[in-house]
A and B are shown apart, each in its own frame.
Chain A
Amino acid sequence: MIGADPSTVSESRGERPVPRPPPALILLGAAAAAFFVVPLTALLIRAPWSDLPSLLGDPAVIAALRLSAITTTSATVLSLVFGVPLAWLLARAEFRGKSLVRAFVLLPMVLPPVVGGMALLLALGRRGLVGQWLDSLLGVTLPFTTTAAVIATTFVAMPFLVITVEAAFRNLDSRMEDAAVTLGAGTGTVFWRITLPLAAPSIAAGACLSAARALGEFGATITFAGSVEGRTQTLPLAVLAALESNDPDAAIAMSLVMMALSMIILIALRRYWLALR
């Protein structure tokens, strides 16, 4: 090897040599990794594994689990049902104020959730913009109901689906749709049989992201729906409640459940993201 860089170590002949990283990068990178590894490991180590069945069997915990299942699933389904059409419109349709609409839709992604909860309260609360009509005309009061928890969760979760799926619709080769049209397909058939299946991996990825966000949703829910046990108290809210009532074991147990669920979502997401490449 003539003039070989000594910092370059060739692992085996014929392969691209892997450069040895600079020490500063190793140090900072390792610190960052530890920053994630240590807390999550602490949770696993401190978990009251033997008491876990009884802790999770507590009626309050079961109620929270049930509510989280309801809100997460409902929010994901609602995001799909309404978010996919919205993403299509944003990607394909031409209308005035489109950028403004997009900004409004995506804002909840970056907005502090408590602000989202306030906004929902002002819109759908008993004295709210829309809420007062719901109350007087239909006799429906949303705040502090499970429906409110679902609405708050959907509010923060749907933008993740919309942004992912809109990008997919935008990047889709529209000539595929042209090909379908020349084969006699009407706009409906093109959407259901060509556009949607081609965007399926992105839609699945968007749904996973929404589900992850929905599972962890806290701020908007507590603001708009409160933390009513059995009605609006989802797992994250129940963890806080457990901590406040000095029951750290229950809080850890529920945290473990959410960690496991998050792990499942992450694995699913990885699959769809790999499929996208």
Chain B
Amino acid sequence: MSLDLDGQIRRGEFAVSVRLTASESEVVAVLGPNGAGKSTILETIAGLRRVESGRCRLDGELVDEPSSDVWVAPQLRPVGFVFQDYLLFPHMTALQNVSFGVECGGADKRQARTRAREWLDRLGIEALAGASPAELSGGEAQKVALARALAREPSVLLLDEPLAALDASSRIAVRRELGEHLTEYAGTTVLVTHDPVDALILADRLVVLENGEVVQEGTAAEIRAHPRSGYVADLVGRNLFRGEADHGVISLNSGARLVTADDRSGLVFAVVDPSAVTLHPTEPHGSARNVWELDVTAVEHLGSRVRVLTKGALELTAEVTPAAIEELGIRAGTRIWATVKATEVRTHPA
């Protein structure tokens, strides 16, 4: 395990209890609402904050354990931190920002400049070397911040809401590029976000945090299929498909086709909210463009709602009321018809 955090972190009145492990080259997303303690976890891994009890290990080395008085200062930890608002040093150029960390690692100024230039090059922003942070767009600043963190060659990369500061138009492109860089990066990545789409697209594994507690943990597919609480269901319990979009029709690998109102082409993720899925006992004749006959595999009760898991041309989860379950007589093994309006199929470039 290149990261093993197990402990309690206090932040004023608020306490966060967390067990977070990650192995090399894994991307873990910590997902939760604002104020759930997500950033606190990153700050603790970086050493900007101490655990109150428990311990933190990086690369197998104990870096924080109050009970045995172990503490490794943040500047000595093998960590790269990309802050939400990037925190580029305003009195330095992009290149100087990147070479700063390399210099702190012991390289001389010339070596550091060369290495920094290589990293800017790698992220495709070598043209911005001489720019001051004030001149950069949000997406550019994010790349400089990423280059700055990666140039130290850390074993753990921490990303705090890496896309939150971007406007909707640049977000998609930046997310795709970030995904590519994370795939190339050999170390562990811990990504904090409140946006489930970011987490689903970028991460291998999700840790869902609510009120300072981990409420669920697992791969995106596991959590999506079996959310353990209404909160988690709302957050990530959506249907996610990957396929090739062409003029409003998405062809999935399974052979199924999804009709969407989004006019996007190429490889996409398609997201369908379970509550947008309507179930029918017989073949419906409505305006919905997506109609499938499916087998119910499981019926899960989550408080006042019920999640119906189905399988057939595709795997689809629907969310309905207990009354509807009774009325339609749905249980595992039932064959039903499911419909989804084209306007309810949202796409994101993959």
Contact = CB atoms under 8 A, between A and B. Distances in A.
Given A182-B75, A183-B149, A198-B90, 17 more contacts: A175-B87, A178-B48, A179-B81, A180-B104, A181-B73, A182-B47, A182-B48, A182-B74, A182-B79, A183-B148, A183-B152, A184-B75, A184-B152, A194-B89, A197-B91, A198-B91, A200-B91
B83 A175 contact: yes
A181 B100 contact: no
B333 interface: no
A182 B91 CA distance: 18
A54 to B, nearest CB: 48
A189 B101 CA distance: 11
Contacts of A200: 91
Contacts of B73: 181
Contacts of A189: 104
B162 interface: no
B74 A181 contact: yes
Given A189-B104, A193-B100, A181 B91 contact: no
A264 interface: no
B100 A182 contact: no
A104 to B, nearest CB: 33
B80 interface: yes
A2 B47 CA distance: 64
B81 A182 contact: yes
Contact of B104 (A175, A176, A185, A197): A185
A59 interface: no
A194 B87 CA distance: 12
B91 A180 contact: no
A197 B89 CA distance: 10
Interface string B99-118: 01100110000000000000
A105 B239 CA distance: 65
B46 interface: yes
Contact of B105 (A178, A181, A184, A197): A184
Interface in B7-64: 46-48
A185 B76 CA distance: 9
Given A182-B46, A183-B152, A186-B75, A176 B87 contact: yes
Interface of A: 173, 175-176, 178-186, 189, 193-194, 197-198, 200
A203 to B, nearest CB: 13
B253 to A, nearest CB: 40
**Most chain B beta-carbon contacts within 10 A, residue among A178, A189, A200:** A178
Given A184-B104, A198-B91, A179 B75 contact: no
A176 B73 CA distance: 17
A181 B87 contact: no
B101 A183 contact: yes
Top 8 A-B pairs, shortest CB-CB distance:
A183-B101, A184-B104, A179-B87, A182-B81, A197-B91, A185-B104, A181-B74, A184-B75
A182 B80 contact: yes
Nearest to A196: B91
Contacts of B76: 184
Interface string B144-161: 000011001000000000
B111 to A, nearest CB: 15
B15 to A, nearest CB: 21
A189 B81 CA distance: 18
A240 to B, nearest CB: 45
Given A193-B100, A198-B90, A198-B91, A181 B83 contact: no
A180 B152 contact: no
B157 to A, nearest CB: 11
17 contacts: A173-B87, A176-B87, A176-B89, A179-B89, A180-B89, A180-B104, A181-B47, A181-B74, A182-B47, A182-B79, A182-B80, A183-B148, A183-B152, A184-B101, A184-B104, A193-B100, A198-B89
Contacts of A176: 87, 89
Contacts of A197: 91
A175 B49 CA distance: 12
A153 to B, nearest CB: 31
Nearest to A189: B104
